[in-house]
Amino acid sequence: MTARRFPLAPGFIIGAALIGFLDGIVFHQILQWHHMICIETHCRVRTIETLTRQTLYDGIFHFVMWLALVTGLALLTRALQHGLPFSSRRYWGSALLGAGLFNVVEGIVDHHILQIHHVRFGPTQTIWDGTFLAAGLLVAVAGSRMARSRES
């Protein structure tokens, strides 16, 4: 008989959703370095129509993150209701893993493959994008180790 462990999915999905919200709030809204999809060169808005469209794409991104968060919370609630032994190390480790992998995948797809935006445009954008990927990878590795540790 195998021991029942707390599932990784709730923390993973919640971590991905929370880092998506953080990215949108910090980079899109507070710092205004980029939008989810940059329509004009270097994400500089020249018309109200462009700002409206870019804001719509940001809103769709945030709505998807909200749906992911609700899904993760539903999975968390279900696991708790089924009496699975909760481990904060496993939960928070999986949340860090989800956050880190979200940033790695988002960075590779959006910054490098599709090039729909960069962390920060300009002559140092490669450094910003590379640092973003490296940070995501470090968070994912730390989360994976934490989630798999003996105490979890």
Confidence of residue 1 (pLDDT cuts 50, 70, 90): very low
Measure Cα distances from 53 to 28, 48, 50, 57 in Å.
13, 9, 5, 6
pLDDT score for 86: 93
Mean pLDDT over 136-146 rounds to: 98
User: Which pLDDT does position 9 carry in this prediction?
Assistant: 97
The SS3 of residue 8 is coil
pTM of the predicted model as reported, rounded to 2 decimal places: 0.91
Average pLDDT, the chain: 93
- Nearest CA to 34 out of 52, 64, 55, 60 is that of 55
pLDDT digits (tens, 9 = 90+) for 59-95: 999 999 999 999 999 999 999 999 989 999 999 999 9
